[in-house]
């Protein structure tokens, strides 16, 4: 007689059942440990789906996970399916019996015994038939649906029994907790990235605002804004175009991100770029409609004006609006990463474009306040303030500064002969000659009437005398156009005085330069003289 060993079944089927339970328990335990340590959603989906495929005997397995950005259930991983078809599965939750069953949290058959779909209208509408599933298993965490596991028919063709569904449901519970953790981790990561981006954007806006408050050089301010704009959206190139009110053409004023030599020439005004009409190309349309445009591929967009030299792949063009009027456009192009411009990029650039418009508008208003309308030179009040500032700076750093006072010779007689209209034309033309000849650092002004003044920072009397002589020769050689088509000749007299040699304050320096100018007139005019103590006052 065979003695029965305690705790050991003599029935083979009972033994297999016991072994199956031990294996299932071990699988659950190991899977739970593995999944909870994985934060990468793709790896998590692959390991979970593979485990289900190995233990369920299903022909196909698919995993759909809720995407917090798209607010939809999207395909993540599958085994046994045509991936090219399945990868496009995406659906949002709606009202109806199908969704109530899905949110019930229990596995349920998606097909009846005859192979027909339950909820067929919904399945066909959402394109879920490509999953070729028989069983759907909701992935629930605290009554929140985080995803769906789908199982195709079993390899042996038999239906799923209760034990198999319970086991699969337990696997799904393990996976749901891990997926929930991964989703929360994604949310934290995205929130951290978004916060970092917002901080960067605020930093950019702060830097630009600070520059607007403290930089008095318009070109430098615009270049800084361009640099900040390019950096903020990771773009290669940028430009600012202003609308010429007289010609109604858009003209490039500053540019960044092109060949350094060409960039310098354009920014210094030594090279002209192609001018664009209103309504022409993207920039022209933006200026005309006062609506921004994004072109993701300039090669495929007819709105973009083609140019072999432009080398623009994608571009955001934004209107510059001041006092409800478009004064120009800002262009930011060629994302370095090759990616598309995002809505966040455009939002930031719109704000920066607003800053550009404010900067230009303020500069224009300031220019109107400190410049003479006829000659476009600085007015007397501005001249005296700048001369005062330069003298203080030169005292601090022990540098010289010089002043040239000039007078158009016999200007009253000229007015009497040719009329005041011709006289005004001569003043305006002479001012243009001055602006062309003097250095960028020099400050040409209209002192009053037919008198002009030029402040020459960090220039001694000798250097100022050379500059004065250049001005004199240029004016003397120039053919002034007469109102009747004739050519007129004009000469000027110039008096030079320098700090600290001839005066140590504004009034003292003006007085000495005026004495030198008077000496020119006494000496026959059309000459330049440097102040000398032997010269007589008027």
The CATH number linked to 509 is 3.30.70.270
Of the candidates 84, 153, 450, 476, the residue annotated as catalytic is 450
Give me the pLDDT at residue 538, please.
63
Same domain membership, residue 391 and residue 365: no
What CATH number has the domain bearing residue 178? 3.30.450.40
For 58-70, give the DSSP string: BS-EEEEEEETTT
CB atoms within 10 A of CB 456: 24
Give me the pLDDT at residue 308, please.
45
Domain count for the chain, please give it.
3
Same domain membership, residue 388 and residue 364: no
101: CB partners within 8 A, 6+ apart: 108, 119
What dihedral angle (degrees, nearest 10) is formed by the CA atoms of 411, 438, 375, 379?
A: -100
Please give the Cα distance from 316 to 283 (Å, whole number): 10
Containing domain of residue 111, as a range?
Answer: 12-186
Mean model confidence pLDDT for the chain: 84
Confirm whether pTM is higher than 0.75.
no
Asked whether residue 37 carries a pLDDT value surpassing 50, the answer given is: yes
Same domain membership, residue 393 and residue 313: no
Same domain membership, residue 388 and residue 359: no
pLDDT tens per residue, range 466-508:
999 999 999 999 999 988 888 999 999 999 999 999 988 999 9
| pLDDT higher at 223 or 13 | 223
Phi, psi of 141 (to 5 degrees): -135, 115
Buried b (16+ CB within 10 A) or exposed e, 61-77: bbbbbbbeeeeebbbbb
Give me the pLDDT at residue 392, please.
94
| pLDDT higher at 35 or 86 | 86
450 catalytic? Reply is: yes
Same domain membership, residue 473 and residue 392: yes
pLDDT tens per residue, range 73-116:
889 889 999 888 888 888 888 878 888 888 888 898 998 888 88
Q: Is residue 140 part of a domain?
A: yes
Please give the Cα distance from 51 to 447 (Å, whole number): 90
């Amino acid at each position: 007689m065979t003695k029965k060993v305690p705790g050991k079944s003599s029935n083979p089927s009972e033994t297999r059942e016991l072994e199956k339970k031990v294996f299932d328990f071990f699988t659950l335990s190991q899977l739970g440990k593995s999944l909870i340590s994985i934060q990468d959603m793709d790896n998590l989906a692959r390991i979970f789906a593979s485990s289900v495929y190995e233990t369920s005997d299903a022909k196909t397995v698919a995993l759909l996970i809720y995407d917090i950005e798209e607010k939809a259930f999207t395909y993540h991983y599958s085994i046994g399916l045509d991936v090219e078809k399945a990868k496009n599965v995406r659906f949002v939750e709606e009202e109806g019996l199908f969704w109530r069953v899905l949110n019930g949290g229990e596995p349920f058959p998606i097909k009846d015994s005859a192979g027909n779909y339950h909820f067929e209208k919904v399945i066909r509408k959402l394109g879920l038939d490509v999953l070729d599933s028989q069983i759907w298993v909701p992935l629930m965490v605290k009554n929140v649906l985080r995803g769906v596991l789908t199982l195709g028919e079993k390899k042996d063709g038999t239906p799923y029994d209760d034990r198999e569904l319970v086991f699969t449901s337990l696997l799904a519970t393990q996976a749901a907790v891990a997926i929930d953790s991964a989703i929360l981790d994604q949310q934290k990561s995205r929130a951290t990235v978004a916060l970092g981006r917002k901080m960067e954007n605020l930093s950019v806006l702060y830097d630009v605002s600070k520059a607007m408050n403290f930089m008095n050089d318009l070109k430098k301010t615009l270049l800084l804004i361009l640099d900040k704009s390019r950096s903020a959206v990771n773009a290669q190139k940028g430009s600012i175009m202003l609308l010429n009110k007289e010609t109604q053409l858009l003209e490039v004023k500053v540019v960044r991100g092109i060949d350094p030599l060409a960039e310098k020439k354009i920014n210094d005004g030594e090279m002209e770029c192609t001018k664009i009409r209103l309504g022409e190309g993207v920039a022209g349309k933006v200026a005309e409609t006062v609506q921004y445009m994004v072109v993701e591929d300039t090669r495929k967009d007819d709105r973009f004006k083609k140019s072999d030299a432009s080398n623009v792949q994608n571009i955001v063009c934004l209107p510059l609006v001041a006092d409800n009027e478009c004064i120009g456009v800002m262009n930011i192009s060629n994302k370095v990463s090759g990616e598309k411009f995002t809505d966040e990029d455009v939002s930031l650039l719109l704000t920066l474009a607003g800053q550009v418009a404010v900067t230009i508008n303020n500069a224009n208003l300031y220019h109107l306040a400190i410049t003479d309308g006829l000659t476009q030179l600085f007015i007397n009040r501005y001249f005296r303030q700048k001369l005062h500032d330069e003298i203080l700076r030169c005292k601090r750093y022990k540098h010289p500064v010089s002043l040239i006072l000039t007078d158009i010779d016999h200007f009253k007689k000229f007015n009497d002969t040719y009329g005041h209209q011709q006289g005004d034309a001569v003043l305006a033309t002479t001012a243009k000659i001055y602006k062309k000849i003097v250095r960028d650092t020099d400050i040409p002004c209209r002192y009053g009437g037919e008198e002009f003044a030029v402040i020459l920072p960090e220039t001694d009397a000798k250097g100022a005398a050379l500059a004065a002589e250049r001005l004199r020769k240029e004016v003397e050689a120039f053919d002034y156009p007469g109102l009747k088509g004739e050519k007129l000749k004009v000469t000027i007299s110039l008096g030079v005085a320098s700090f600290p040699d001839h005066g140590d304050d504004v009034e003292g320096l003006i007085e000495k330069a005026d004495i030198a100018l008077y000496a020119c007139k006494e000496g026959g005019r059309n000459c330049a003289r440097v102040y000398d103590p032997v010269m007589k006052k008027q």
